[in-house]
Structure 1
Amino acid sequence: MTDPQIAIMMLGLFIVIVLLGFPIAFTLIAMGLAFGYYAYFDAERMTTIFDNRIFDLFVQNTFSVMSNDVLVAVPLFLFMGYIVERANIVDRLFFSIQMAARHVPGSMAIAALATCAVFATATGIIGAVVTLMGLLALPAMLKVGYDKRLATGVICAGGTLGILIPPSIMLIVYAAIAQVSPVRLYAAALFPGIMLASMYMVYVIIRATLNPSLAPKPKEEDVPGFAQVVWQLMTSFVPLFVLIMGVLGSILAGIATPAEAAGVGSMGGLILAAIYKALSWQRLKEAVYLTARTSAMVCWLFVGSWTFASVFSYLGGHSLIEHWILGLDVGSVGFLIIAQVIIFLLGWPLEWSEIIIIFVPIFLPMLGHFNVDPLFFGVLVALNLQTSFLTPPMAMAAYYLKGVADKSVELMDIFKGIMPYLGIVITAMVLLYMFPGIALWLPKYLFG
């Protein structure tokens, strides 16, 4: 076998092993070391079995990841998210938005989407958002007679918005891999994120207007007075919104780097939790532990993927795929469609972290040839990765929700509920293809 053929076999073997359930990071490291040992094997200079350049490469990659300034923001944003998650603010937020939007068709579903968008923006942790909203909003919607498919679809779709809307952990990871400014990437992703959330809400309003039985309006006796609704909004929505806008605004205004803004956001989350009397030693320990565990996973994913990708490229895998795509002579639009279709298909068996760290770097060297802005490509990928949580049979958002939903809610109900939102994501991608300014106008306006 030639080296490029071995590289393709290496990639296929990795996907098979992941589907068998082995840990992603350590699978990458093991395969990178094993195939790298073959790739860098030199019998003439070898004195011991450890005298192989793959071990030097592994050490260098580990040091590069641990000293990467961009990745400093990851544990800080994670800590802010875990603290906010434990601040007991989401139930108040959902109730206040629901009461404020009570005259809108499908008010509870709209409130769930708005709460998911705000909470996902504050945390960026998809599983936490879907699970918490499944415990909070889903029983409330089902109790008043909401259709199961509509209710579950809203929570699954809204919970994934944290991938796209800044400050997103995924965007920081992409910025580190693509070597682009995370600040510009945040600016590029802001309007597409708002657009997608708005499209979800418009769809719900149209469905509820055409068929009111899917989303019954709240009873008048259940609606509190105007003053109480305003107070609920002031004490739930406003503090969290100010925290998010303070973090995001300071980044986009150039006042602070993402890492500095994340540090201030973490402190703001602690203050917010203290104000809501939800800051205890136990919850603080849990937040620190979860932050350390998730950050370690991200860092080892980087180490493993960079080692894997280096060996894959050294064996000729990247050049083989690049020559194949260039040989199709499809132009920039065709390249974008091919890349996004591949990423869409990879979203079935893999999560966003593996796709971003392992497969997206295959396409990055070709962006210059097809004259594609890496910021635009990154936003397209972030938009596309919504589908990795919404596409059956491996729709992780559905499994998160099923784990906390009532027994009367079947997994097939959830799958059917998320299909319209999958179509909305694809529609949003088409709009972004047709009007790139949706993503590129704000970074150009702010930074030139």
Structure 2
Amino acid sequence: MIADYIWPISMLLALVLLLFSGYAVGFVLAGVGIAFALLADVPTVFLSMGVQRIYSGTLTNWLLAAIPLFVFMGLMLEKSGIAERLMRSLAALAGRLPGGYAFAVVVIGVVMAASTGIIGASVVLMGMMSLPAMRAAGYDMRLATGLVAASGTLGILIPPSIMLIILGDQLRVPIGDLFMGAIYPGLILSGLYFTYIVLNAIFRPSHMPAPPQTDGVPVLHAVLSLARDLVAPMLLILSVLGTIITGVATPTESAAIGALGATLLAALTGGFSFGAFRHAVFETTKTTAMIAFVMIGATVFSLVFRRLGGDAMVADLFHFENVSPYVTLAMIMALIFVLGFFLDWVEISLVVIPIVAPIVASLDFGMPTSDVILWFAIALAVNLQTSFLTPPFGYALFYLRGVDPTIPIGTIYRGVIPFVLIQMAALILVIAIPSIVLSLPHSMR
């Protein structure tokens, strides 16, 4: 049987080896695809299909225009200083209690996830604002770093999420349904983080003590400051998500509203300047180019991989007689979790998901295929969130290490373990109770 699939197996091995070599992912994907097309004597004219797919699926895809707009929105919000003021208001209010700074970090993580969705910016910003305060208060740095890294990755799940846009494009699922389906899982995951903090505050208060003395800010003043600082991001979130969910605007149009709103907020708060605008445009262009180039490379790789029998190989790998479909789904999720140790969510979404999605769609879960794909997509989003936290290549870990190089990387690794387990618990809940994902999209139809 292995001999029947020697070409696709060789492609996968070559892909893994070259990814570890440090070459750009887009070059690796496209290069491996073209090289094996030549080695396997695939007709050159077949590759012209890849050009057509790249043009129609990536370069002229109106939906993907939402990606640079959402990236720009997040970067402009970062420049507006809203998150910094919100953190100060939360710290003044919650920092009086054991675990107060930890609660503030999770709240900021949720707000930034729903308003920016930029993982690197969220982790770096929260790390810079919260780690010095938590260290001064005597927090266990394993807990502190794990909490900042995990809270900063909520933007990959809570809409508007760039990953959900790409998954919707790959799986042909309406973005509005994906955004609605992700709301409850995102809130559940945030709630599990809160529960973990509460348990630590009760049973291990020495790991997250209250500051020895407060700054003397009156409670009423702290509450009013918090309410004031929440107004702007909440209005932006409601304007973006509300127009998508209600069908008033497409995701791309809503992203444009968000980009304009973030720019106006930056101007009103004094954070707008030509330098800030130039930086936001430059970073948006880099991020968008990276995603687009990976999509182009993944298109070439997937086209050749399927031509050489890769899809049949994967189908045989997950084909079991008289086995519950949940067992097959669990194996697929386990594979994606392991791949998250070594690959970024972009590569997994663009290379692996299109291959395994038809397998999941063919399984009988007792619900319509459209619901199965929607449920599967959100479960994937929860699963792929762990790829930011799992060593050796978890990006959130290195973002955090860059914020404070004095923290040993081993401390950060140990700190994220409880939060990876919490994410796995959330994944199990989503798989075991599909209504967590499906109830809100169904109620809006």
TM-score range, shorter chain: over 0.9
Q: Deviations over 1:52-78 (max 9, x none)?
A: 224412321321211112211111101
Alignment-derived partner of residue 270 in structure 1: 263
AA matched with 1:279: F
Shift of 1:396: 2.1
- For residues 321 and 158 of structure 2, the distance between their equivalents in structure 1, rounded to whole angstroms, comes to 34
Within the candidate set 38, 44, 66, 2:59 is matched to 66
- For residues 280 and 330 of structure 1, the distance between their equivalents in structure 2, rounded to whole angstroms, comes to 60
Alignment-derived partner of residue 398 in structure 1: 397
Q: Deviations over 1:168-204 (max 9, x none)?
A: 0000000000111111011111100110011001101
- For residues 419 and 328 of structure 1, the distance between their equivalents in structure 2, rounded to whole angstroms, comes to 35
Contact 1:36 1:54 in 2 (8 A): no
Within the candidate set 275, 280, 298, 1:287 is matched to 280
- For residues 116 and 424 of structure 1, the distance between their equivalents in structure 2, rounded to whole angstroms, comes to 16
- For residues 39 and 365 of structure 1, the distance between their equivalents in structure 2, rounded to whole angstroms, comes to 25
- For residues 393 and 234 of structure 2, the distance between their equivalents in structure 1, rounded to whole angstroms, comes to 33
- For residues 104 and 171 of structure 1, the distance between their equivalents in structure 2, rounded to whole angstroms, comes to 36
Alignment-derived partner of residue 45 in structure 1: none
Q: Deviations over 1:381-429 (max 9, x none)?
A: 110112111222332211110111151x211111111111111111111
Alignment-derived partner of residue 441 in structure 1: 439
AA matched with 1:77: F
Contact 1:157 1:418 in 2 (8 A): yes
Alignment-derived partner of residue 17 in structure 1: 18
SS in structure 2 at match of 1:394: coil
Within the candidate set 48, 61, 82, 1:56 is matched to 48
AA matched with 2:25: I
SS in structure 1 at match of 2:80: coil
Q: Aligned pair in 2 of structure 1 residues 17, 225: CA closer, same or farther (>3 Å)?
A: same
Alignment-derived partner of residue 380 in structure 2: 381
Within the candidate set 104, 111, 114, 1:111 is matched to 104
Contact 2:117 2:156 in 1 (8 A): yes
AA matched with 1:341: A
1:428 aligns with 2:432: no
- For residues 124 and 255 of structure 1, the distance between their equivalents in structure 2, rounded to whole angstroms, comes to 22
AA matched with 2:341: W
Shift of 1:301: 1.1
Unaligned ranges ≥5, structure 2: 366-371
- For residues 306 and 419 of structure 1, the distance between their equivalents in structure 2, rounded to whole angstroms, comes to 34
Shift of 1:38: 4.0
Which stretch shows the higher mean deviation, 137-146 or 116-125? 116-125
Alignment-derived partner of residue 316 in structure 2: 323
Shift of 1:89: 1.8
Alignment-derived partner of residue 155 in structure 1: 148
Alignment-derived partner of residue 82 in structure 1: 75
Within the candidate set 65, 85, 97, 1:92 is matched to 85
Q: How many residues align?
A: 437
Q: Aligned pair in 2 of structure 1 residues 155, 10: CA closer, same or farther (>3 Å)?
A: same
Shift of 1:104: 5.2
5 Å matches for 1:300-319? 300-319=293-312
- For residues 9 and 322 of structure 2, the distance between their equivalents in structure 1, rounded to whole angstroms, comes to 22
Alignment-derived partner of residue 348 in structure 1: 341
- For residues 4 and 23 of structure 2, the distance between their equivalents in structure 1, rounded to whole angstroms, comes to 26
- For residues 191 and 104 of structure 1, the distance between their equivalents in structure 2, rounded to whole angstroms, comes to 28
Alignment-derived partner of residue 138 in structure 1: 131
- For residues 329 and 216 of structure 2, the distance between their equivalents in structure 1, rounded to whole angstroms, comes to 49
- For residues 147 and 395 of structure 2, the distance between their equivalents in structure 1, rounded to whole angstroms, comes to 15
Contact 2:137 2:212 in 1 (8 A): no
Q: Deviations over 1:197-234 (max 9, x none)?
A: 11001101110121221111245542411342134223
Q: Deviations over 1:300-358 (max 9, x none)?
A: 11111111111101110111110221135432101110010000000011111111111
SS in structure 2 at match of 1:349: coil
- For residues 71 and 207 of structure 1, the distance between their equivalents in structure 2, rounded to whole angstroms, comes to 42
- For residues 115 and 206 of structure 1, the distance between their equivalents in structure 2, rounded to whole angstroms, comes to 20
1:365 aligns with 2:358: yes
Q: Deviations over 1:135-182 (max 9, x none)?
A: 111111111111111110110110111111010000000000011111
Q: Aligned pair in 2 of structure 1 residues 191, 223: CA closer, same or farther (>3 Å)?
A: farther
- For residues 339 and 191 of structure 1, the distance between their equivalents in structure 2, rounded to whole angstroms, comes to 23
Q: Aligned pair in 2 of structure 1 residues 40, 440: CA closer, same or farther (>3 Å)?
A: farther
AA matched with 1:420: P
SS in structure 1 at match of 2:295: helix
- For residues 114 and 166 of structure 2, the distance between their equivalents in structure 1, rounded to whole angstroms, comes to 16
Contact 2:92 2:215 in 1 (8 A): no
- For residues 426 and 361 of structure 2, the distance between their equivalents in structure 1, rounded to whole angstroms, comes to 24
Contact 1:149 1:417 in 2 (8 A): yes
SS in structure 1 at match of 2:249: coil
Which stretch shows the higher mean deviation, 262-271 or 55-64? 55-64
Q: Percent identity?
A: 37
AA matched with 2:302: A
